[in-house]
A = this chain, B = another copy of it.
Amino acid sequence: MTTNRALTLFLVGALLTTGVNLRSVQSQTAPPAAIDGFTSEGSVIQRRWEEEFQRVPAPDSAREHLRRLTAEPHVAGTKEDYATAIYVRDKIRSYGIPSELNEYDVLLNYPKQPAVVELITPRRRLRLAVKEAVIPADPSTSNPNIIPLFNGYSPSGDVTAPLVYVNYGLPPDYAALKKLGVDVKGKIVLARYGNSFRGVKAKVAEDNGAIGLIIYSDPADDGYAQGDVYPKGPWRPDSSGQRGSVQYLFQAPGDPLTPGRPSVPGEQRLKMEDVTTLTRIPVQPISYGDAKQLLEPLAGPVRPDGFQGGLPFSYHVGGTESIRVHLKTVMDYKVRKIWNVISRIDGDAEKDRWVIMGNHRDAWTFGAVDPSSGTTAMLEAARGFGQLLKSGWKPRRSIVLCSWDGEEYGLLGSTEWAEEHAAELKQKAVAYLNMDSAVSGSRFGAASVPSMWKLIRAATRHVPDPKTGKSVYQAWQDNSREGRPEADLTNAESGTDTSIAEARIGALGSGSDFTPFLQHLGVPSSDMGFGGDYGVYHSAYDTFHWMSNFGDPTFAYHVTAARLWGTVAMRLAGAEGLPLDYRDYATQINAFFEESMKTAKRRNLANGFDEKPMREAIQKFSEEAARTEKARRDAIEESRGARTDAKLRRLNDALIAVERALTDGRGLRGRTWYTHQIYAPGTYTGYAAQPLPDFRQALEDRNTTNAREALERIVEALNRAAEVLRNARD
């Protein structure tokens, strides 16, 4: 590592003025070497701005944002939701950044009345509470505006039938039940939350012929088996249920009435009967206190392996006539207004290149973690940017800050915006940086396209971790090591210690607002946050009180999230040559392919297609990525920090166009809204990514025709991407 005396001195000077102990972090871990994408001189200037930026976010200010944002439940489309939009807009304007509301008219459902869930046995009829208890220590929990337990986009329904317990409600669970001779056709199924997105559970239940779905939170998954329950601890107490959307997000997010098109006046809307992304069976969440009443009396066979949860009896699968359930949901469906808040800092040299930061604002109840911790981080980052602007900071590119609405129903605000501005975004978007539940604890985690791995890791080296006093990077590595068994920390073959291998940055699946950007438009995207023991997800207990007692009592991690998010954005907005490295992307695609080939061989499908073109395409992409990286470094040096440089501009445009080239306008099989050939949520994995989605799915389905076609499209995409890189250097 080279040292830069001027920078070091600056840092020491700067650090003396900040309350947080940044110094030890910097001296331990931050090499005063160039920041990737900047000349040496540019790096010094950039670091100075970053330091000034990082001094702005503050715990008291963050606490106050969170207090205000969580004052009332603010479900998408409600007046309380509107009030938070105004709060965010006005705050950002007060920092000197232009900010505007941006409306869409979208389909939303609210429960007209609390759901009815009744247990019917030969001897009794028992109506379950289906209500989260008031907790005296937490004043929010007695708020009369808390929306009853319900699922977004569940239809109204009134069904009575025998009950079957279906574990997580995924295809292997139904297969296990079938093996036991238990059929769910015409029955109501009881699934537990976990292992996939709840919309998948609804789809699979419906596909299997169930006429109703009840989803409960098993104490094994986020209740007492994990630790003390609220208010004694951070985990889910026995009356708590998980709200949430059951949209078929894996087919298309956004307003179900306008798939692929923006929900603006004049756009045609589907009739309800033509909508294909919503379930037709009523779906209802309940607590484990209630679920116990249903599960304990169940007869039928003892549960198969993997079905037992944390309630204190042997689970049975039911399906007998003796234990029936009455489920009634009454929904108020309407097209309603939602409000994004879009704020812009214009770029100095490249105003038409946008670095987008996004986070949703709507919540199922108070949403302290989900999403207000993210909104708080965005507001504190905006406050930091505002201060820099006053000091004369001029980012090379524009920064767009987006506070999304309607995310909880199915990424509505972000999707409609991305659909409305699709053409412009394809041309102008440099990257999309998402945060959602930014803080529920202190453990850093990230997912992104591989081209952003180095950028994210580098930024975490320049932000201090409050708990350890080390850098976020170091704390992240330490946490990651801690969880791994000894055997994983070494390469057993060679006996070499691989414990220095870096913590993994995950693949983007879905479940938050990066989806329209990455998977519909092909914009390089990331998602980050600090996680912890968080058992109150989508419940009435995701409150300011919870956050103040468990998630982030000092609000230091809200500050840290703002610092980190802002630093990544500033680097993308300021870099002379964009720090997007496609060598990592090539390596990752190769790993995905190797993994898929194992499955293909295991299932004797490998003879059904030719793997050679794929290997060649990966190789070619990899080579072009390496050449482009070298060209970028050379061009940065040659540019000598010039504000405009044609060669760099061409390279930079190529570096964002590569991701676009990985999309295919024909879309994925059976879900054309998803166009990205490398990343999509799996049809059954839900939140989790299914890399090389169509190829992978074809292997799952043991369909070699589909596998061949999917591979061809991936190869085409890789060749397009390689071509984009090659052309940029000509």
Q: Which residues of A contact B (CB under 8 A)?
A: 219, 224-229, 233, 235, 302, 308, 310-314, 486-487, 489-490, 492, 494-495, 497, 598, 601-602, 604, 606
User: In the complex, which residues of chain B have a beta carbon less than 8 angstroms from the beta carbon of A233?
Assistant: 302, 314
A713 to B604, CA, bound (A): 47
A201 to B129, CA, bound (A): 45
User: In the complex, which residues of chain B have a beta carbon less than 8 angstroms from the beta carbon of A497?
Assistant: 604
**The 7 A-B residue pairs with the shortest CB-CB distance in the complex, in nearest-first order:** A495-B601, A312-B312, A490-B602, A492-B598, A228-B314, A224-B314, A227-B302
The reply to whether A227 and B490 form a contact with Cβ atoms under 8 Å apart is: no
Which chain B residue has the least Cβ–Cβ distance from A489? Answer: B602
Known A-B contacts A495-B602, A606-B495; the reply to A224 vs B490 at CB < 8 A is no
The reply to whether A312 and B490 form a contact with Cβ atoms under 8 Å apart is: no
User: In the complex, which residues of chain B have a beta carbon less than 8 angstroms from the beta carbon of A487?
Assistant: 598, 602
* Other contacts beyond A224-B312, A229-B314: 5, CB < 8 A: A226-B314, A228-B314, A233-B302, A233-B314, A310-B310
User: In the complex, which residues of chain B have a beta carbon less than 8 angstroms from the beta carbon of A311?
Assistant: 312
The reply to whether B490 and A228 form a contact with Cβ atoms under 8 Å apart is: no
Partner of A225, one of B229, B308, B492: B308
A302 to B486, CA, bound (A): 24
* Minimum C-beta distance from A379 to chain B (A): 33
User: In the complex, which residues of chain B have a beta carbon less than 8 angstroms from the beta carbon of A227?
Assistant: 302, 314
A224 to B311, CA, bound (A): 9
User: In the complex, which residues of chain B have a beta carbon less than 8 angstroms from the beta carbon of A229?
Assistant: 314
A310 to B235, CA, bound (A): 17
Which chain B residue has the least Cβ–Cβ distance from A311? Answer: B312
A232 to B225, CA, bound (A): 26
User: In the complex, which residues of chain B have a beta carbon less than 8 angstroms from the beta carbon of A235?
Assistant: 314
A228 to B604, CA, bound (A): 40
Which chain B residue has the least Cβ–Cβ distance from A292? Answer: B312
User: In the complex, which residues of chain B have a beta carbon less than 8 angstroms from the beta carbon of A310?
Assistant: 310, 312
User: In the complex, which residues of chain B have a beta carbon less than 8 angstroms from the beta carbon of A314?
Assistant: 224-229, 233, 235
A462 to B362, CA, bound (A): 69
User: In the complex, which residues of chain B have a beta carbon less than 8 angstroms from the beta carbon of A226?
Assistant: 308, 314
User: In the complex, which residues of chain B have a beta carbon less than 8 angstroms from the beta carbon of A312?
Assistant: 219, 224, 310-312
List 8 contacting pairs A-B, 8 Å CB cutoff, sorted by A. A225-B314, A228-B302, A312-B312, A490-B601, A492-B598, A492-B601, A494-B601, A495-B604
A601 to B491, CA, bound (A): 9
User: In the complex, which residues of chain B have a beta carbon less than 8 angstroms from the beta carbon of A598?
Assistant: 487, 492, 495
* Minimum C-beta distance from A171 to chain B (A): 14
A65 to B233, CA, bound (A): 56
A547 to B286, CA, bound (A): 40
A157 to B251, CA, bound (A): 67
User: In the complex, which residues of chain B have a beta carbon less than 8 angstroms from the beta carbon of A495?
Assistant: 598, 601-602, 604, 606
* Minimum C-beta distance from A485 to chain B (A): 10
The reply to whether B308 and A492 form a contact with Cβ atoms under 8 Å apart is: no
Which chain B residue has the least Cβ–Cβ distance from A594? Answer: B492
The reply to whether A313 and B602 form a contact with Cβ atoms under 8 Å apart is: no
* Minimum C-beta distance from A692 to chain B (A): 17
Partner of A224, one of B219, B313, B602, B604: B313
A489 to B603, CA, bound (A): 11
* Minimum C-beta distance from A549 to chain B (A): 15
Interface centre among A235, A311, A602 (most CB of B within 10 A): A602
User: In the complex, which residues of chain B have a beta carbon less than 8 angstroms from the beta carbon of A606?
Assistant: 495
The reply to whether A602 and B219 form a contact with Cβ atoms under 8 Å apart is: no
* Minimum C-beta distance from A314 to chain B (A): 5
A601 to B489, CA, bound (A): 12
User: In the complex, which residues of chain B have a beta carbon less than 8 angstroms from the beta carbon of A492?
Assistant: 598, 601-602
A229 to B495, CA, bound (A): 47
* Minimum C-beta distance from A289 to chain B (A): 11
* Minimum C-beta distance from A478 to chain B (A): 14
A229 to B316, CA, bound (A): 12
* Minimum C-beta distance from A282 to chain B (A): 29
Which chain B residue has the least Cβ–Cβ distance from A229? Answer: B314
A289 to B219, CA, bound (A): 20
A98 to B55, CA, bound (A): 93
* Minimum C-beta distance from A218 to chain B (A): 11
* Minimum C-beta distance from A446 to chain B (A): 23
A302 to B226, CA, bound (A): 9
Which chain B residue has the least Cβ–Cβ distance from A486? Answer: B602
* Minimum C-beta distance from A85 to chain B (A): 39
Which chain B residue has the least Cβ–Cβ distance from A228? Answer: B314
* Minimum C-beta distance from A256 to chain B (A): 36
User: In the complex, which residues of chain B have a beta carbon less than 8 angstroms from the beta carbon of A490?
Assistant: 601-602
A696 to B313, CA, bound (A): 40
A84 to B665, CA, bound (A): 81
User: In the complex, which residues of chain B have a beta carbon less than 8 angstroms from the beta carbon of A225?
Assistant: 308, 314
* Minimum C-beta distance from A727 to chain B (A): 38
A308 to B487, CA, bound (A): 24
A602 to B228, CA, bound (A): 37
User: In the complex, which residues of chain B have a beta carbon less than 8 angstroms from the beta carbon of A224?
Assistant: 312-314
A598 to B494, CA, bound (A): 9
* Minimum C-beta distance from A52 to chain B (A): 40
A486 to B308, CA, bound (A): 22
* Minimum C-beta distance from A707 to chain B (A): 15
Which chain B residue has the least Cβ–Cβ distance from A309? Answer: B225
User: In the complex, which residues of chain B have a beta carbon less than 8 angstroms from the beta carbon of A228?
Assistant: 302, 314
* Minimum C-beta distance from A512 to chain B (A): 27
A225 to B233, CA, bound (A): 24
User: In the complex, which residues of chain B have a beta carbon less than 8 angstroms from the beta carbon of A489?
Assistant: 602
A354 to B74, CA, bound (A): 83
A487 to B595, CA, bound (A): 11
Which chain B residue has the least Cβ–Cβ distance from A483? Answer: B305
A227 to B225, CA, bound (A): 18
User: In the complex, which residues of chain B have a beta carbon less than 8 angstroms from the beta carbon of A601?
Assistant: 490, 492, 494-495
* Minimum C-beta distance from A317 to chain B (A): 12
User: In the complex, which residues of chain B have a beta carbon less than 8 angstroms from the beta carbon of A494?
Assistant: 601
* Minimum C-beta distance from A605 to chain B (A): 10
A495 to B601, CA, bound (A): 5
A368 to B403, CA, bound (A): 68
* Minimum C-beta distance from A165 to chain B (A): 14
A233 to B313, CA, bound (A): 12
A259 to B494, CA, bound (A): 44
A673 to B308, CA, bound (A): 44
Which chain B residue has the least Cβ–Cβ distance from A495? Answer: B601
Which chain B residue has the least Cβ–Cβ distance from A305? Answer: B483
* Minimum C-beta distance from A494 to chain B (A): 8
A692 to B302, CA, bound (A): 41
* Minimum C-beta distance from A518 to chain B (A): 29
* Minimum C-beta distance from A225 to chain B (A): 5
